[in-house]
Amino acid sequence: MVSDTIIRLMNEQITKEQYASQLYLSMSAWFYSQDLEGVANYFRVQSKEELMHADKMFDYINNVGGQVVLDEVAKPPHEFSGAQDIFEQALEHERLVTKSIFNIVKAANDEGDFATTSFLQWFINEQVEEESSASLLVTKIKMVKDNPSALYLFDQELAQRVFTPAAEN
């Protein structure tokens, strides 16, 4: 039902989701090192969400009779020039992931593989949300600039985020 090409692209996507998880965990670590625990929490939750994405794809490949083949996950950066730099990189990264998912959808469409396009619909919607929240945070961190009390409030706000696996379904 699902071609080898699509299985290969889905396997590559698993690696990309795992890398996104590593990247956000590294960003989280940077914020912990700056004592911005709320922002660190936000990225830690984000990191877990990315693993859930990889997990969903893992299940899909198995369900359609393919084999999951794991790859090396690249080392994420750990030096950042500041909070704004991180939020901009996160937004940039989400845009890359969106492109990558769109590529699989396009390939699946060309093959008339409706099972995969239907499965990936969830990811398309998810990317709309991811890009929207990443872009909102870029705007907010620009407003904060070097104002310590604004940064304190921003950190408090992001401390509220909790990981909810149910929201992933």
CB atoms within 10 A of CB 70: 11
Residue nearest to Fe ion (CB): 53
Q: Which residues bind Fe ion (CB under 5 A)?
A: 17, 50, 53, 130
Q: Which is nearer to Fe ion, 44 or 53 (CB)?
A: 53
Q: Which is nearer to Fe ion, 104 or 151 (CB)?
A: 104
Annotated ligand binding at 50? The verdict is: yes
Least distance CB 69 / Fe ion (angstroms): 19
Least distance CB 109 / Fe ion (angstroms): 21
- For CA atoms 133, 136, 142, 148, the dihedral sign is negative
Instruction: In whole angstroms, give the CA distance from residue 120 to residue 138.
Output: 27
Q: Which is nearer to Fe ion, 54 or 141 (CB)?
A: 54
In b/e form, how buried is each residue of 24-47, taking b as 16+ CB within 10 angstroms? bbbbbbbbeeeebbbbbbbbbbbb
- Which distant-in-sequence residues (6+ apart) come within 8 Å of 165 by Cβ? 52
Q: Which is nearer to Fe ion, 52 or 115 (CB)?
A: 52
Annotated ligand binding at 49? The verdict is: no
Instruction: In whole angstroms, give the CA distance from residue 46 to residue 4.
Output: 30
Q: Which is nearer to Fe ion, 17 or 155 (CB)?
A: 17
Least distance CB 52 / Fe ion (angstroms): 8
Please, are residues 94 and 131 in contact by the beta-carbon 8 Å criterion? Answer: yes
Instruction: In whole angstroms, give the CA distance from residue 38 to residue 41.
Output: 5
Least distance CB 73 / Fe ion (angstroms): 14
Binding site listing for Fe cation: 17, 50, 53, 94, 127
